[in-house]
């Protein structure tokens, strides 16, 4: 495998379910925050201050470290026109960059196609989790989707190492180019050969890996560890993606405890991830981006919060110019979006555009479907 250590790498953690932005980056100096959150506002003495106006959720101490280093970008007021309150639809829009029509092709699928137009490396894009998020979907773009890196591969149900390796040998020969029964059979055989190649390479990642960092046993912790392992193994993977457990951030009820647990895990995991990469001198070329499909309702419902619009995203990395990007959307009743929601002021495609052009070195326009002013955080 050719070493591509210096190529820029994009890692993405999707916070599925709609993270409550108001209790993540808290507008602590704004009296309206406490008015609208009679049950769920976080008391001033617990908030971790960012500046006079804003502060982190108390569980986000580990992320504060990167803020202090100037390696954390916080994107406020993230969204797109005519926000959808449907998890699926809104996530689709973030995945496809198509807010008006239903798109089937993902922005990262296009990225992988641009990076590796002839699919020379079956591992240019890797997803951790079961099933491919639409962000990575594009016809003719192979993306490995790994449910568990420790056990990933074909015929994982065959017990005994020697039996399985024999079975895989047979598999390899059965899928080797033969006089097939036509184009479809040939195509499937080639695909099977690619899959076997990808699985063989990926299987070596955990063996090559050693680290002093101990990730949490949560899905986020383990998948971010898998991302680190894959990156450190030097397979030339450029896009690494994972999703928090499906709709875990959908805190309609019992939010105080849930949200705190979620951010404890995510913050610790991000710290572990960065520490791990730094320990291996492999953090320079990695950008970690975290987003959610929407924010939540301004007013709490007594126990949780319902679906809202503008949300918050983050970027962490050595190449990041730390800071606050975008405006905190107004909580003023007259300036809210219809339905008691925060109005977006920063199109997510602006942030994508900077990631694509200033980090990945690609032409963003065809990928995000238009020209968007860059959010200059790199």
Partner 1 sequence: MADENIALMAHLLRRSGFGASRDEIEAKAAQGYQQTLDDLLNPESQPIIEEDLVYRYNPSYWQSAAIENNVQAWLYTMINTPRQLQEKMSLFWHMIFCAGHSKIDSGYEMGRMVAMFREHGMGNFRDLIYRLSTSPGMMYYLDNTESHQVAVNENYGRELLELFSLGAGKDEEFNYSEDDVKACARAFTGWNNAPAYPPFPYGRSPWEFRFDPADHDDGEKTFLGETGPWNGDDILDIICKQPATARFLARHLYNYFVADDAQIPAWRLTPPQNLNLIQEMEKAYFDSGYDITEMLRVLFNSDTFKSEEVRYAKVKSPAEVVAGTLRLVEEHREIKLGLFQHSQEPKYMGMDLMNPPTVEGWHTGREWIDSGTLVERINYASDLLGNTELPGVKGLINRLMSRGDSLSPETFVDGCLDLIGPITVDDGTRSELVAHAQKAGDLRHGSSSEQSDFTRRTGEMFQMIASTAEFQFE
Tokens read off for 376: 């200059």
Contact between 253 and partner 1 (CB under 8 A)? Answer: no
Residue 326 CB, nearest approach to partner 1 (Å): 25
Q: Out of 34, 41, 61, 167, point to the residue binding partner 1 (CB under 8 A).
A: 167
Q: How far is the CB of 233 from partner 1 (least distance, A)?
A: 18
DSSP tag of 307: B
CB of 23 to partner 1, least distance (A): 18
Under the binding rule (CB under 8 A), the answer on residue 144 touching partner 1 is yes
- Considering the complex, what minimum distance in angstroms separates the CB of residue 87 from partner 1? 8
Shortest spacing between CB 174 and partner 1, in angstroms:
5
User: Quick one: which of 58, 65, 171, 280 contacts partner 1 (CB under 8 A)?
Assistant: 171
Q: What SS3 class is residue 145? A: strand
- Binding marks (x or -) toward partner 1, 48..87, rule CB under 8 A? -------------------------------------xxx
Q: Which residues of 111-125 are buried (b: 16+ CB within 10 A; e: fewer)?
A: bbbebbeeeebbbbb
Would you count residue 127 as binding partner 1 (CB under 8 A)? yes
The footprint of partner 1 on this chain (CB under 8 A) covers a number of residues equal to 53
Distances (CA, A) of 318 to 43, 242, 315: 32, 20, 10
Token digits of residue 123: 């591992």
| Distance from chain centroid for Cα 152 | 21
d(CA 63, CA 67): 7
Footprint (CB under 8 A) of partner 1, residues 92-121: 92, 102-104
Q: Is 165 in the site for partner 1 (CB under 8 A)?
A: no
Alpha-carbon distance values, 217 to 153, 220, 266 (Å): 21, 8, 12
Site string for partner 1, 5-24 (x = CB under 8 A): --------------------
CB 341 within 8 A of CB 366: no
In the complex, minimum distance from the CB of residue 26 to partner 1, in angstroms, rounded to a whole number: 23
Q: Does 163 bind partner 1 (CB under 8 A)?
A: yes
User: Which CB atom, from 10 or from 137, has the smaller least distance to partner 1?
Assistant: 137
Indicate which single residue of 62, 142, 221, 295 sits in contact with partner 1 (rule: CB under 8 A): 142
Give 81-89's long-range contacts (Cβ < 8 A, gap of 24+). 83/294, 83/309, 83/310, 83/337, 83/341, 83/344, 84/294, 85/294, 85/307, 85/308, 85/309, 85/339, 86/307, 87/16, 87/17, 87/18, 87/247, 87/250, 87/293, 87/307
Which of residues 10 and 141 has its CB atom nearest to partner 1 in the complex? 141
| Closest separation in Å from C-beta 180 to partner 1 | 7
Strand positions, DSSP E, 134-275 = 144-146, 239-243
CA distance 148 to 310: 33
| Contact string (CB under 8 A) for partner 1, positions 298-327, x = contact | --------xx--------------------
* CB burial readout 86-97, b (16+ within 10 A) else e: ebeebbbbbbbb
CA within 13 Å, CB half, 54 = 18
Among positions 215-244, residues that touch partner 1 (CB under 8 A) are none
CB 242 → partner 1: shortest distance, Å?
A: 14
Q: Which helix (H) or strand (E) holds 25?
A: strand 25-27
What residues numbered 172-211 form the site for partner 1, per CB under 8 A? Answer: 173-175, 178-181, 183-185, 187-189, 191-192, 194-195, 198-199
Pick the closer one to partner 1 by CB: 142 or 221: 142
What lies within 8 Å, CB to CB, of 244 at 6+ separation is 13, 14, 15, 16, 17, 219, 220, 262, 266
Q: What residue ranges bind partner 1 (CB under 8 A)?
A: 85-89, 92, 102-104, 122, 127, 130-132, 134, 137, 139, 142-145, 153-158, 163, 166-167, 170-171, 173-175, 178-181, 183-185, 187-189, 191-192, 194-195, 198-199, 306-307
């Amino acid at each position: 495998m050719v070493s591509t250590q210096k190529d820029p790498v994009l890692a993405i953690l999707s916070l599925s379910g709609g993270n409550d932005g108001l209790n993540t980056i808290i507008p602590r100096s704004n009296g309206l925050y406490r008015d609208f959150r009679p049950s769920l506002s976080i008391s001033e003495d617990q908030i971790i201050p960012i500046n006079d106006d804003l502060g982190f959720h108390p569980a986000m101490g580990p992320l504060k470290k990167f803020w202090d280093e100037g390696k954390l970008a916080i994107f406020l007021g993230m969204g797109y026109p005519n926000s959808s309150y449907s998890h699926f639809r809104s996530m689709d829009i973030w995945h496809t960059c198509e807010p008006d029509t239903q798109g089937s092709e993902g922005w990262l699928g296009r990225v992988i196609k641009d990076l590796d137009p002839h699919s020379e490396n079956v591992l240019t894009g890797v997803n951790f989790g079961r099933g491919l998020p639409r962000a990575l979907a594009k016809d003719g773009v192979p993306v490995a989707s790994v449910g568990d890196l420790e056990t990933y591969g074909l015929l994982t149900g065959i017990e005994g190492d020697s039996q399985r390796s024999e079975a895989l040998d047979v598999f390899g020969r059965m899928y080797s180019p033969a006089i097939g029964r036509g184009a479809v059979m040939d195509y499937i055989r080639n695909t099977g050969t690619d899959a076997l190649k990808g699985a063989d390479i990926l299987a070596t990642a955990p063996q090559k890996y050693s680290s002093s960092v101990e990730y949490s046993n949560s899905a986020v912790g383990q998948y971010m560890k898998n991302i680190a392992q894959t990156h450190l193994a030097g397979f030339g993977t450029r896009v690494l993606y994972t999703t928090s457990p499906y709709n875990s951030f959908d805190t309609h009820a019992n939010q105080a405890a849930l949200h705190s647990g979620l951010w404890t895990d995510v913050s610790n995991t991000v710290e572990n991830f960065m520490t791990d990469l730094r320990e291996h001198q492999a953090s320079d070329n990695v950008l970690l981006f975290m987003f959610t499909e929407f924010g939540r309702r301004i007013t709490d419902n007594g126990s949780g919060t319902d679906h809202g619009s503008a949300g918050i995203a983050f970027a962490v990395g050595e190449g990041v110019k730390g800071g606050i990007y975008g405006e905190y959307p107004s909580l003023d009743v007259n300036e809210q979006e219809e339905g008691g929601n925060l109005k977006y002021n920063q199109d997510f495609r602006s942030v994508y555009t900077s990631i694509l052009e200033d980090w990945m070195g690609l032409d963003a326009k065809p990928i995000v479907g238009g020209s968007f002013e860059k959010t200059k955080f790199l």
